[in-house]
Structure 1
């Protein structure tokens, strides 16, 4: 077992092992180490994603948890990439990013097309999943609830420091009906202390940039994260981190400040209400 810098994915898989131990053996980490003849620190380091377990370590660990050879093979196929500086996962993986959000000290993100997931209303998220067409209808409520559950970190006394950059285009793209959009605008107004809007006047260059997030942790290497409907990319590579930091410095110069962002959002709320009033007048 070689100790190396942990990654978001190694911590996720380590936590998965911990949950297996607790569910299937009822043993503490110390008792489990004793059962295997390991030093307790070895169990701790593997479960915290701080050290790579060898294949023999994984066999012993999983078999002690009552898992069979098929389970081992499936887990090993994922674990082999756990400590890579770049990890690409299927787009419906939620555990790794949720764990990163829950353990981050600071979260800085940019999205050009949709509202930040951590401050989306349930109605906006539901309309987004429904209209997006990439979530089965029977799974929509599950995904809405998962997104809502992830937002619990925003209510913690020691929540991560957050800064969300949102392109004005995301405000213009209609998701759901006017009521959904108004409620979402009001949610953003409540969070303007952590929100910076990139105005349309910033030009086309920013509109072509992909959504991304930079996570900073108290004791771990920073993480650059990007997601599409095809895959999620987790990057701990120094170049990716430096590039993301420069990107957000660039955004800082383009973005409206808190007061300007609030005024722009208020204009969008007013615009919706004026449109609604005009439609009622037409019907009369």
Structure 2
């Protein structure tokens, strides 16, 4: 199992192919006709939608664009890496076809706003189990697998070069008794420990902040170390996850996150508030 992102590799290959076509001053139709690669196939390759990347198509394009040996080998290497499976492929039943961990695997920074819950990367096993149970009367075996998948996601925060994680959490998420007082106390104490890490910033959006640009729901912005790997926004829904990549979409969510950070408590005051809420719960248990 690979630890890098196959999706990122497909995007990089798409950027290479698109830049070669742009440099040649060709339309998609002209490049497809000249290389002998079907237009629909070339279009999907350039937009990183193609899951099957044939060596014959890559060689045909390399020949047509008259690339050097290094570029040709790089194209094939990206195609090879895009076919490798990450650990998250074992949890397709949990993550679906488009897995958020695929993008998290290579993110340099992760900025998340959570309005209702503690972010998944920060959740304790018992808190996560309560979230997946969602108040329903179901057996532990039905929540064990998604909890296991969520705990595996958190490994990126413990790697040698972890991503910079900035989370803005609505105060409501900290006061909601998910799983009951004991589970919530454990979760709040865990948040307090995470807030002390060098690569993690936690800010609380207090009730008194009033209206804000995140009122339509939670979202996550992922940035990558390579400039050619453009940012992506993930918006979770009740049934699936939506990935946004258009520049205007990214800009809109960047503005929203900046607004949320600006009206949230400082990291120091946020840590104090988390501690105060935990202390209050401890008195009640």
**Conservation of the 8 A alpha-carbon contact between 2:112 and 2:168:** yes
Shift of 1:140: 1.1
Q: How does 1:9-88 map to 2 (within 5 A)?
A: 10=48, 40-48=73-81
Shift of 1:138: 3.7
Counterpart for residue 110 of structure 1: 113
Say which SS state the counterpart of residue 113 (structure 1) adopts: coil
Q: TM-score, normalised by structure 1?
A: 0.68
* Structure 1 pair 94–33 and aligned structure 2 pair: CA distance change class (3 A): closer
Q: Offset of 1:133 from its aligned partner?
A: 4.6
Tell me, in whole angstroms, the C-alpha distance in 1 between the residues paired with 2:237 and 2:132. Answer: 14
2:252 to 225, 243, 247: 243
8 Å Cα contact 2:166-2:201 kept in structure 1: yes
The Cα RMSD (Å) is 3.4
Kept in 2: contact 1:91–1:227 (CA 8 A): no
1:258 to 258, 267, 273: 267
Shift in CA distance, 191/232, structure 1 to aligned 2, threshold 3 Å: same
How far apart are residue 191 of structure 1 and its match? 1.9
The separation in 2 between residues aligned to 1:44 and 1:136, in whole angstroms, is 45
2:163 corresponds, among 160, 163, 173, to: 160
Residues 205 and 41 of structure 1: CA distance in aligned 2, closer, same or farther (over 3 Å) = closer
Alpha-carbon spacing, 1:135–1:47, altered in 2? closer, same or farther (3 Å):
farther
- For the Cα contact (< 8 Å) 1:167–1:207, is it kept in 2? no
The answer on whether the counterparts of 1:91 and 1:229 sit within 8 Å (CA) in structure 2 is no
Aligned equivalent of 1:212: 219
Q: Does 1:272 align with 2:281?
A: yes
Structure 2: tracts of 5 or more residues without a match: 1-12, 20-43, 61-71, 84-92
CA contact (8 A) 2:214 2:257 kept: no
Tell me, yes or no, if the aligned pair for 2:185 and 2:281 is still in contact at 8 Å.
yes
Question: Take 2:151 and 2:97, find their aligned partners in 1: how far apart are those partners?
Answer: 13
**For 1:175, what is the secondary structure of its paired residue?**
coil
Aligned residues: 220
